[in-house]
Structure 1
Amino acid sequence: MKHKMILKTVFGAGLLIASGAVLASTTGSEFQTVYDKFEGWVQGYGGMAIAIGAIGLGGLASLAKQTPFPILTGIGSAILLQYSPDIVSSIMTATI
Structure 2
Amino acid sequence: MSIKQTLETVKTVSKSPAALAMGGVAMAFLLSDAAYAGGGGTDVAFDTVWETLREWTTGTLGKIVAGAMILVGIIAGIARQSLMAFAVGIAGGMGLNYSPDIIDAIMTATLEKAPTMTPAVIQFSNGLGG
Q: Partner amino acid for 2:51?
A: D
Structure 1: where are the runs of 5+ without partners?
1-21
Equivalence for 1:55:
70
Question: What TM-score do the two structures reach when normalised by structure 1?
Answer: 0.73
Question: What TM-score do the two structures reach when normalised by structure 2?
Answer: 0.55
Which of 4, 24, 39 is the matching residue for 2:38? Answer: 24
| Structure-2 separation of matches of 1:44 and 1:67 | 30
Larger Rg: 2
Q: Partner amino acid for 2:50?
A: Y
Q: Deviations over 1:35-66 (max 9, x none)?
A: 00010000001100000000000000101110
Structure 2: where are the runs of 5+ without partners?
1-35, 112-130
- CA shift, 1:24, in A, is 1.2
% identical aligned pairs: 33
SS at match of 1:78: helix
- Greater relative contact order structure (CA < 8 Å, 6+ sep): 1
| Structure-2 separation of matches of 1:59 and 1:25 | 42
Which of 69, 77, 87 is the matching residue for 2:84? Answer: 69
- Residue 46 in 1 paired to residue 61 in 2? yes
| Structure-2 separation of matches of 1:25 and 1:69 | 40
- CA shift, 1:90, in A, is 0.8
List structure 1 runs of 4+ shifted beyond 2 angstroms.
none
Greater helix fraction, Structure 1 or Structure 2: 1
| Structure-2 separation of matches of 1:84 and 1:65 | 28
